[in-house]
Amino acid sequence: MMSSRFIPVLCLAVALGLAAGCSSEEATQAGGASEADAEHAAKSSSAGLPSGHADAGQKLSMAKNAATGQSCVDCHGAAGNAPIDATYPKLGGQYADYLAHSLQSYREGKRSNALMASQAKTLTDQQIADLAAYFASQPGQLTDLAAVE
């Protein structure tokens, strides 16, 4: 009969052994780091995008989209903090990953808004990363609604 303390120790040992075995087996099969691992390491976000450049994003935020004739700042305001309509989100200070995921969702039709879908449709992964880096680098003017009475 096994003691009640032995079972958790045995489970931990088995789990560690499996983890070590899988890691070395995968490394052996891939000949070290795989191409997919190297590609993933080059990505900077949970959105799977390359590193964004805020300066390029700033320029892009002012560029007019051919399909809509609008730029990001036309609707969201300078630095993403002065939307022309109260229903438009403030982008300044938002998390880069959130912004990137949102733009990807608009581009892929997973999020519906006709204007934003048109704006994002032709954006490349690099452009999305650049825009996300720019707006994330701006001072945020977001309010924690829990503090509002």
Question: In sequence order, which residues have a C-beta less than 8 Å from that of residue 99 and are 6 or more positions away?
Answer: 91, 131, 132, 135, 136
Distances (CA, A) of 129 to 5, 95, 99, 147: 50, 12, 9, 32
| Res. 145 pLDDT band, cuts 50 70 90 | confident
In this structure, is residue 106 part of a structural domain? yes
The set of residues, in sequence order, having a beta carbon less than 8 Å from that of 22 and lying 6+ positions away, is none
Nearest to residue 67, comparing CAs of 102, 110, 117, 103?
117
Residues 64 and 103 in one domain: yes
Based on the fold, state whether residues 58 and 129 are members of the same structural domain: yes
Q: How far apart are the first and last CA of the chain?
A: 61
Residue 49 located in a structural domain: no
Please say if the pLDDT value at position 12 is more than 80: no
Q: Tell me, yes or no, whether 35 lies in a domain.
A: yes
- Higher confidence at residue 25 or residue 108? 108
Tell me, yes or no, whether 72 and 128 share the same domain: yes
In the predicted model, what is the mean pLDDT of residues 5-25? Answer: 47
Residue recorded with tokens 């691992």? 37
Res. 41: pLDDT tops 70: no
The answer as to whether 110 is a domain residue is: yes
Q: For 82-93, what is the mean pLDDT?
A: 92
Cβ atoms of residues 88 and 81 within 8 Å? no
State the CATH number of the domain containing residue 109. 1.10.760.10
> In this structure, are residues 80 and 68 in contact, taking their beta carbons and an 8 Å threshold?
no
Same domain, yes or no, for 133 and 94?
A: yes
Instruction: Tell me, yes or no, whether 58 and 36 share the same domain.
Output: no
Q: Which residue type, as a one-letter code, is found at position 116?
A: M
114 located within any domain? yes
Residue 80 per-residue DSSP state = G
Q: What is the mean pLDDT of residues 4-12?
A: 50
Mean pLDDT of the chain: 77
Domain that residue 120 falls in: 54-137
Whole-prediction pTM = 0.66
- Please name which of 136, 130, 30 lies closest in space to residue 90, comparing C-alpha atoms: 136
In a domain, 103, yes or no: yes
pLDDT in tens, 43-67: 455 668 889 999 999 999 999 998 8
Residues 58 and 38 in one domain: no
Q: Are 21 and 72 members of one domain?
A: no
19 and 61 together in one domain: no
